[in-house]
Structure 1
């Protein structure tokens, strides 16, 4: 996906990285409709879910979902997420998260989206993001209609 945003460099998004808890899952349970949304866009983007898997449920919850699960250690999660973004190529990666451990990932990505849902949002993470959304489905709306993204980010 290439998006020309007035007053900003062209965005080319190839990879989408989601934090798990608080982003696409609440209390370890995948939000209804996420699997379908990821699968619907899987021909256009590479999807990754990065998590320390606090509830031990990520693989079961994402079964039959066209994404790669990246499990990271419970310590230094912010650094693990940052390094993963760098390994993918931050210039073509959109990331989404809500926790303090997502702040570096969002800052490093070409587009970092902070999300405020049931589990809250760390203020530091918000300050390191480009966009704040109220629902994970807002992210998929940006992917479906790039004009929404342009309207949010243009000068």
Structure 2
């Protein structure tokens, strides 16, 4: 997806990286409808879910979803997430998260989206993001209609 945003460089998004809990799952359970939309969009983007898997449920919850699951250790999660997006190409990565451990990932991705759902949002992460949304489905709407991103980010 190439997006020409007035007053900003052209964005070329190839990778989508989601935090798990608080982003595409609530209390360890995948939000209904997320898997279907990821599968629908998987021909246009590479999807990744990066998590410390607090509830131990990520593999089971995402077993029928076209995404790569990256499980990280409990320590230095913020740095692990940053290292991951750098390894796949931060300049082509849109990342989404809500926790303090997502702050570097959102800041260094070409586009970082903070999400405020049932599990809350760390203020530090919000301040390191480009956009704030109220639902994971708002993120999917951006991926389906680039004009929404243009309207939000243009000068």
* TM-score tier (shorter): over 0.9
C-alpha offsets along residues 27-76 of structure 1, whole Å, 9 cap, x if unaligned? 00000000001000000000000000000000000011000000000000
- TM-score in terms of structure 1 length: 1.00
- DSSP 3-state at the match of 1:16: strand
Q: What is the CA–CA distance in structure 1 between the aligned matches of 2:53 and 2:26, rounded to whole Å?
A: 12
The alpha-carbon deviation at position 82 of structure 1 amounts to: 0.3
**Aligned equivalent of 1:38:** 38
Give RMSD over aligned pairs. Answer: 0.3
The ranges of structure 1 where at least 4 consecutive aligned residues each deviate by more than 2 angstroms after the TM superposition are none
Query: Normalising to structure 2: TM-score of the pair?
Result: 1.00
Structure 1 residue aligned with 2:98: 98
Deviation at 1:109, TM superposition (A): 0.1
Matched, 1:139 2:139: yes
Which residue pairs with 1:83 in the alignment? Answer: 83
1:151 and 1:87 mapped to 2: Cα distance? Answer: 30
Structure 1: gaps (5+ residues) = none
Matches of 1:84 and 1:108, distance apart in 2: 11
Pairs within 5 Å for 1:19-38 = 19-38=19-38
Q: Does 1:49 align with 2:57?
A: no
Q: Distance in 2 between matches of 1:98 and 1:70?
A: 17
2:154 equivalent to 1:154: yes
